[in-house]
Structure 1
């Protein structure tokens, strides 16, 4: 399936494909070859996957989601305020770390899918940086 000859998927489709760790163009090839390392090109459609500047965006959204979904509700439980600090840290840091590490590649994939759908590429980000410096 050639990504250049087929119709470009919609924003939500590309986001969903990235969330699943698949190429946002075809949905077939793997997006990552290691934990957070993006494949240079899709093995199925040869789409250039290295051109999307994910940078710090996925980490920001991961922290935002973990903070709102896990940390904020935790503060409502009295044991967080009443238990010794060592107990609270030991019982919360491991699940927070696990949730963060589990979400990060999925959010990075969705972020890349969003960049693909919006047509944002590395060269566009580099041009924008040069324009801002002038």
Structure 2
């Protein structure tokens, strides 16, 4: 999951996992592991909303209870921070989910790992 979170191939840690912002490459350029069968679907955005919602919600709560901040500062700060955090975390979360699927052998990764281990031996 850590390799995927960093955008690297979960199998070899050398190749790139993403060709574009959220488009997973079909196969690793370094080791040849196929990624076309991954099924990240809705889990990465859900995890991002969960994490960002807790961070921003806690920030709003603390700033409202501990500080005297004008409403215009809230309206300028929190939506911008939410957008930045969501965009910053979406690709790493998707990479971590693909890495998790690889580690657990889900959605075709199990057969790919067995095939790769047979070729290595």
What's the TM-score, normalizing by structure 2? Answer: 0.80
Offset at 1:36? 0.4
| 1:60–1:81 Cα change, 3 Å | farther
Confirm whether residue 78 of structure 1 aligns to residue 64 of structure 2: yes
Which residue pairs with 2:78 in the alignment? 92
Gaps of 5+ in 2: 110-121
Pick one of 35, 51, 67 that aligns with 1:65. Answer: 51
In 2, distance between residues paired with 1:114 and 1:90?
A: 36
Report deviation, 1:87.
Answer: 4.0
- The within-5 A match list for 1:24-39 is 24-39=10-25
Q: Any unmatched runs of 5+ in structure 1?
A: 1-14, 124-134
CA–CA separation in structure 2 for the residues paired with 1:112 and 1:81: 43
Question: Paired residues, what number?
Answer: 109
CA separation in 2, counterparts of 1:93 and 1:107?
20
TM-score (norm 1): 0.73
Does the residue aligned with 1:77 lie in a helix, a strand or coil? helix
**CA positional deviation for 1:44:** 0.5
CA contact (8 A) 2:16 2:29 kept: yes
The CA distance in 2 between the partners of 1:70 and 1:30, in whole Å, is 31
Alpha-carbon contact 1:23-1:30 (below 8 Å) kept: yes
